[in-house]
Structure 1
């Protein structure tokens, strides 16, 4: 009985083991998303056993687990500790294992360079592999080994692989050149220049995408290299990689500014015969004609036209680069018709990245500052949302201030008042208040409305000091002398709100001192109410009370002199003079030396009769406080963008550098020869004879014939191929046994004595290169028809 139970238990245990092994095999084959979770159950010792196994399936399974650990970022197993176990599998015959080893080397080769050197020979052998993906991965792995002793080897490999028939390999060559240039710099500059010029002449958009990125970072000063490729690059712009499109657009903008003539602006608003034409101005918004037409160079028109399809790109960098291209090379009318203003707004709304939103909004802010009509149709997209970041909301408010006009001011004012009332961020409330001040400057009606709303909000709401200070600055900006009833209400707020901070109360007192010349009657009463609490006020408010009393006395003296030219002004018998003496007396004992010095200075002027000097000091016009930086444009004599304008807009340094105006090269002269005449391209696709082209190319590489010169690209290929339809030969269908066998079975051939009277050297070379197909070709010729059989029989005779 016990033996039976033991045998049953053993059978169940064996079944469990078999089931687990089957699960391992299934997971390694299927590669499902649950594979990472399953890999967590393996121990470090088991993983090392898989990597060192002689079973190819177990090695593949172990490599999958390693890659899974690397990609998931899990720390339960240290993938770096298996470096030696992984690298030795580079010699595996499995292509997938080789790719995974190369991926592993991309991350960890630099951390253990001595051990990584052991795999160099095996990686070099992989350059002759049939699979182009393996050749590409080998180049990536070798170039990522930042070991100085390997740099000559990498350069040698790149020189051989630059003419590889597979475009993915040539693309990897370009990025390997970039890594080598970053490490070696000028030491390999001359060799890399030659390689890069070959890649720039490639016909594949994938290769050009990689080459143009390298060109922009390493050799952007050699724009003359683009002469013969300019028109072809414009044609394939849509086929390039998304990130290469950005680099290509930026480079071609610089190329157009350097080698293409400036567009001509033609005035079409004038009568016939009086049309004027001028070169396109440096400023984006400086065209003096209300209606105009643009005459572009054909190559410039070609570039601008090839950018228009990119308006539907999902890459924000491409949208930014194309918008900058129209900003640099076109007029506002052309920019508006291109659709990129709408694309900028659409991308802002659709993206979730804060950094991308900020970059796009800075660009929109610049364009709205230069020409508000570009962004006016999309004004609702710039309303502040509760989910907006602080900087994003601030940029939106600045954009709104540039788009305010008589037709949309009411909607914008309602939005701003709601945002000010509900927002909990002082910074955003201040930005919204500044934008509301711009709305008030539109007309007298809106000025009165905005001032009244601010004063009511100050009286009814408990606001932070910074917000109250910004409110006072806004009221100062909105010319309060034209709205005295509202200012009287502000004096009531000053008396009732004793909790205002020192700077806020000082600003309100200063405001009454400024309107003393316009409405003298209300200011003495304000001063009378402030004198009893002079000692309890803050230092800034005490200083402004002293200034208010001195200004009132100066205005009264000037009024008295105008009415009584022959009489002397008596301070002791004047009500204003008595209040000034009271304030000056209190100020003489103030703890702030600035207040004491001001009191002595003003008293010496008044008591010695130097009233003209006091008038100049106290009644000089003051500049209006700047509320919104973008409300003032640069002067006419300065070329835009001036440095102060950049700073006032609030653009960061990267945005300023990106949108800096590139000057046109006006020294371009007309040439008889077209410097942009297209040059022959290196089209490797013509070497693909059939579906077996990869094996054909790899066979040539193994024989050492993979190097393809530029002459071979231009001249017609006269090599024989067994699958070429141009030779007049038919492909013989194979049986299943022949298709799956390593060596195709040979057909029985009659023994014939063949005498060749004359054979060209090219035919000899071809026969030598393809000895294995000679008999098959002859048998095929016999079955082609009677003419072929007659020829063969005659030659045998």
Structure 2
């Protein structure tokens, strides 16, 4: 091209592109302008210009998303008549409008069905797939049979796009008319065995929606589905993994066997040897001890079914998927079907999801916590991903703190120190969120309460919590005391000094809940060491400021007074009252006469008892006085609950000699509290489910539609493994058979004669040359092994023999042809002689 012509062409092209961009920009500005009146919109829809029709359709579709259907229904007939437009853009917009409004105008929508049916025979596979997808989406039950016929045609279409659309249309047709289920199951069984992976993925999704319990349809396609799993699209992979999880638990029993554990280092100090036992003890050893030793040396190992192992190995490459849902689905498969070795392979990809966006990170954390509840050991080396960042949202750092507490008991001492330092930093940082401070304190408590935590580590956690008692933050002090109370209840004898230390901080504690917790601890463990008991002194100090205390603290003071009084009565039981004797007869006048004294006694002249002795007998013990004083104070309190509680204690202790019931109610041993992990309530939900993220807020049994995992099938009740054998269909078409043949087979067919020609069917069954079976073709007595053992000389001998046979056959054919020619000549001669004889006559 000449340079001047090229420059002219470039200039014109740039001008056209600029004008087109300007038109698009102006149309975009017009689309955002105010809405056109209905008359003008109808005029645009009825126009002959494709540009105006597109403009009108865009405006109507925009209105349908912004306004209720009643506002856009008047344009139904004007939109539907453009369904036969040759423009693909116009068709798509008409289809969008039709799907949204066909349910409101079913009679008018039926007018477009004929045009959509014609598109099913279009030469463009995209148009055929689009027509089938639209026709199945029209929610008019009358067309269910038409949709079923369209699915039947689409299931046998040459294009995989159309077959995929047919697979996705099956559940839509079922929703239109459930009576079409038998026909749809036939189409579905065909599509499940399709050779294209994206067709089978859509078929599996339809299977889960239509008939998830018909696992008999999956048996012949199980292995092919597992092989196609890697090539499916992300949504097909999710559907297939969900199906395989249910299929495996219903078709593969869980088999285990006991094997001997790996050899360990011999520890001479842990267990005496046989010779040592024989020298110092008896030579005989009981059979029970032998059985126990054998059981300790054995461990259970899961035996995987070959087909199940095929599935687990086929999922390994999906761990590199870019879709987070696929990674979580593979982890779920390994968790519920595989062994720990397979599960450990999915831990790293699960952790990598924590570097994703916030919403994906949130969902991934819930699933990581669910896996960590049962298998915390493999997560220890990823502890750096669970450290709280300043940019983390509350729902993120809550789950991270929980993960730190779950891996804490299984971490090394150095790592435990790092986790405790991290939690301690967030627990006393006043500038941070108060919710983060509370969660950090609770996390320290969970770290110390774990059964795998050593006593030294638990003591360190307690020291960290005791440092918070003198804090000015009332919420921090209250939360720390709550956790300290739980720790003391686990081992009261080891924390006597801790209770004394807490009692010293009563003056500094200002929070009512904090003061109530300390008072309860003092009263609960008042009877552990009666000689060094401080409960009575604490009660004496608290009574002075009883009127200024808050109601929670007052309740605990009354309870403390009752407990101290019960301990006093138990340690110093009062003397029992004298028994009532039988009534004596009325005294006579001579009763006062004493023979020894020689006269009557004058009571007025006897010395009266001393006042000090009477006061000592009437003066109560100081603990009893404190108890009565507390009851007196409560009697005039404004709290109804407090007064009722005091009446109960007064009734229980009304008889000092009978304190059994009061001891049972007040001094009964309390159960050791346990701080559960926040996700313990979600432990029953399946990994990867929406109910796991929502929790109990979605209902008691999860969200609607949630299904729990089925139980493992019992051994002996599983289906026959032969059902999963793939069936090679011999009724393939010539086109598919030709495509399945290799180039070498085609050359052999082209070069070979009629006797040695190999058909595609015979290639598929190597044991027969005519495709009828292994006993026909190469001779009934020749086996496959003999065919494989043939040498080159044998093949050449057979070929030479076949050539001789063909030569003899050709000679025989030549002789037969000459004989036939002679016979025909003889017949012609005889016929001519007959004609001559007739002429003579």
The TM-score normalised by the length of structure 2 is 0.67
1:459 corresponds, among 465, 470, 484, to 470
- Superposed counterparts of 1:55-66, under 5 Å: 55-56=49-50, 58=51, 62=55, 65=58
| 1:181 shift after superposition | 1.7
Deviation at 1:581, TM superposition (A): 2.1
- Structure 1 residues 40 and 232 mapped into 2: Cα distance closer, same or farther (>3 Å)? same
Distance across 2 between alignment mates of 1:469 and 1:713: 82
Q: Which residue of 2 aligns with 1:326?
A: 334
State the SS of the aligned residue for 1:202. coil
Point out the more displaced range, 327-336 or 358-367: 358-367
Partner of 1:746: none
Which position in structure 1 is the counterpart of 2:251?
259
Contact 2:426 2:432 in 1 (8 A): no
Aligned to 1:409: 416
Larger Rg: 2
3-state SS, counterpart of residue 83 of structure 2: helix
Change in Cα spacing, 1:334 to 1:40, as seen in structure 2 (3 Å) is closer
Deviations 1:8-63 (A, max 9, x none): xxxxxxxxxx99x978972499x7x896346446984776555433345x357537
Partner Cα separation in structure 2 for residue 219 and residue 533 of structure 1: 73
Q: Which residue matches 1:576?
A: 623
What is the RMSD computed on CA atoms of the aligned residues?
A: 4.4
CA deviations over 1:51-105 (Å, ceiling 9, x no partner) = 433345x357537855995899799xx8776544433222223344434433443
- Kindly state the Cα deviation for residue 350 of structure 1 after the two structures are TM-superposed: 1.2
Aligned partners of 1:476 and 1:624 also within 8 Å: no
Q: Does 1:349 align with 2:361?
A: no
Q: Equivalent residue for 1:155? A: 148
Structure 1 residues 204 and 571, CA gap change in structure 2 (3 angstroms): farther
CA separation in 2, counterparts of 1:34 and 1:264? 72
2:592 pairs with 1:552 = no
The range that moved more, 35-44 or 407-416, is 35-44
- Which range moved further: 151-160 or 59-68? 59-68
Distance 1:182 1:399, change over 3 A: farther
TM-score (norm 1): 0.70
CA distance in 1, matches of 2:670, 2:343: 41
* Paired residues of 2:445 and 2:461 also in contact (CA < 8 A): yes
How big is each residue's C-alpha offset from its partner over 1:688-729, in whole Å with a ceiling of 9 and x where there is no partner? xxxxxxxxxxxxxxxxxxxxxx754898479xxxxxx9998x
Q: Distance in 2 between matches of 1:659 and 1:429?
A: 37
Residues of 1 paired with 2:618 and 2:649: CA distance?
13
Contact 2:84 2:115 in 1 (8 A): yes
Q: CA, structure 1 residues 614+54, in 2 after alignment: closer, same or farther (shift >3 Å)?
A: closer
Superposition deviation, residue 666 in structure 1: 1.4
- Does the CA-based 8 Å contact 1:98-1:134 persist in structure 2? no
How do residues 631-710 of structure 1 correspond to structure 2 at under 5 angstroms?
A: 651-652=695-696, 653-654=701-702, 660-668=708-716, 674-680=722-728
Return the match for 2:163 from 161, 170, 192.
170
How far has the Cα of 1:374 moved from its partner? 2.7
Q: Secondary structure at the match of 2:353?
A: helix
Is 1:373 aligned to residue 377 of structure 2? yes
1:397 paired with 2:401, answer: yes
Deviation at residue 403 of structure 1 after TM alignment: 0.9
TM-aligned CA deviation for residue 230 of structure 1: 0.4
Contact in 1 for aligned 2:198/2:236 (Cα 8 Å): no
User: Displacement, 1:345?
Assistant: 1.8
Question: How far apart, in 1, do the equivalents of 2:692 and 2:664 lie?
Answer: 31
Distance change (3 Å), C-alpha of 1:42 and 1:713? farther
Superposition deviation, residue 122 in structure 1: 1.3
Identify the residue that residue 131 of structure 1 maps to in structure 2. Answer: 124
SS in 2 for 1:459: coil
Q: Return the offset for 1:672.
A: 7.9
Alignment partner, residue 781 of structure 1: none
For 2:320 and 2:426, locate their aligned partners in 1 and report how far apart those are by CA, in whole Å: 33
Flag structure 1 segments of 5+ consecutive residues without an equivalent: 1-17, 273-286, 635-639, 683-709, 719-724, 729-797
What's the secondary structure of 1:495's corresponding residue? coil
Answer whether contact 2:250 2:718 (CA < 8 A) is retained. Answer: no
Distance in 1 (alpha carbons) for counterparts of 2:136 and 2:44:
28
Q: SS in structure 1 opposite 2:254?
A: coil
Separation (CA, whole Å) in 1 of partners of 2:562 and 2:104: 76
The match for 1:219 among 211, 218, 225 is 211
Give the aligned partner of residue 487 of structure 1: 499
Residue 697 (structure 1) aligns with: none
The aligned counterpart of 1:192 is: 184
Shift in Å, 1:601 = 4.7
Going from structure 1 to structure 2, the CA distance change for 1:660 and 1:403 (only over 3 Å counts) comes to farther
Query: Partners in 2 of 1:528 and 1:68 — Cα distance?
Result: 81
Q: How big is each residue's C-alpha offset from its partner over 1:92-132, in whole Å with a ceiling of 9 and x where there is no partner?
A: 23344434433443444445444333322211111111111
Aligned to 2:236: 244
- With over 3 angstroms needed to count, the CA separation of the structure-2 counterparts of 1:561 and 1:608, relative to structure 1, is closer
1:419 paired with 2:423, answer no
Pair 1:518 & 2:528 matched:
yes
Supply the distance in 2 between the matched residues of 1:389 and 1:80 (Cα, whole angstroms). 45
- Partner of 2:342: helix, strand, or coil? helix
Are the equivalent residues in 2 in contact too, given 1:257–1:665 (CA < 8 A)? yes
**Superposed counterparts of 1:310-325, under 5 Å:** 310-325=318-333
Distance 1:321 1:668, change over 3 A: farther
Report the Cα distance in structure 2 between the residues aligned to 1:404 and 1:152, rounded to whole angstroms: 62
The answer as to whether partners of 1:451 and 1:486 remain within 8 angstroms in 2 is: no
Supply the distance in 1 between the matched residues of 2:391 and 2:633 (Cα, whole angstroms): 52
Structure-2 change in CA distance of 1:411 and 1:574 (3 Å)? same
1: CA distance, partners of 2:392 / 2:298: 38
Residue 595 (structure 1) shift: 4.0
CA contact (8 A) 1:473 1:625 kept: no
Give the Å deviation of 1:310.
0.7
Instruction: Work out the CA distance in 2 between the residues paired with 1:714 and 1:574.
Output: 109
Select which of 297, 302, 315 maps to 2:310.
302
Which one of 473, 477, 483 corresponds to residue 486 of structure 2? 477
2:174 maps to what in 1?
181
TM-superposition CA deviations, 1:188-211 (whole Å, max 9, x none)? 212211111111121111111111
Please state whether the residue corresponding to 2:165 is helix, strand or coil: helix
Match of 1:54 in 2: 48
Q: Does residue 537 in structure 1 map to residue 584 in structure 2?
A: no
Q: Compared with structure 1, are the counterparts of its residues 599 and 91 closer, same or farther at alpha carbon in structure 2 (3 Å cutoff)?
A: closer
1:246–1:417 distance in 2 versus 1, CA, 3 Å: same
Q: Conserved in 1, the CA contact under 8 Å of 2:448 and 2:461?
A: yes
1:506–1:540 Cα contact (<8 Å) kept: yes
Is residue 129–residue 135 contact of structure 1 (8 Å, CA) maintained in 2? yes
- Give the whole-Å Cα distance in 2 for the aligned partners of 1:36 and 1:713: 53
Q: Is 1:387 aligned to 2:380, yes or no?
A: no
Question: Quick check: 577-586 or 225-234, which moved more?
Answer: 577-586
Counterpart in 1 of 2:448?
440
- The alpha-carbon distance between structure 1 residues 41 and 663, as it changes in their structure 2 partners (threshold 3 A), is closer
How far is 1:431 from its partner? 2.9
1:496 is aligned to 508
CA contact 1:228–1:679 (8 Å) conserved in 2 = yes
| Contact residue 200 and residue 211 of structure 1 kept, 8 A | yes
Offset of residue 317 of structure 1: 2.1
User: What is residue 789 of structure 2 aligned with on the other side?
Assistant: none
- CA distance in structure 2 between the aligned counterparts of 1:447 and 1:63, rounded to whole angstroms: 73
1:445 Cα offset (Å):
4.0
